[in-house]
């Protein structure tokens, strides 16, 4: 069976043949490792990398790092 993480519940509910009530905790409470959703989740705006404070910005690449990236292993 294919399990979809995102999308409309109406589309997925019609495709399953198992009952919707399972014993134990609900899938939202078990934690699937994905993004948290639900009534207790506070959604904050996404910060683009150009607006990050200097302490979180990426350092410029040095000459040694650029050489290491450009090395060809043929």
pLDDT in tens, 32-65: 456 777 888 888 888 888 888 889 888 899 999 9
What is the rounded CA–CA span in Å between residue 73 and residue 71? 7
Domain locations in the chain as residue ranges: 47-73
35 in helix, strand or coil? coil
Q: What is the pLDDT of residue 8?
A: 55
Given a contact cutoff of 8 angstroms between Cβ atoms, the answer to whether 38 and 27 are in contact is no
Report pTM. Answer: 0.30
Given a contact cutoff of 8 angstroms between Cβ atoms, the answer to whether 27 and 20 are in contact is no
12 in helix, strand or coil? helix
């Amino acid at each position: 069976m294919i399990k979809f993480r995102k999308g409309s519940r109406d589309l997925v509910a019609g495709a399953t043949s198992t009952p919707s009530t399972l014993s134990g905790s609900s899938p939202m409470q078990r934690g699937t490792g994905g993004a948290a959703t639900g009534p207790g989740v506070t959604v904050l705006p996404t910060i683009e990398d150009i607006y990050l404070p200097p302490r979180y910005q990426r350092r410029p690449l040095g000459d040694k790092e650029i050489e290491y990236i450009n090395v060809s292993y043929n």
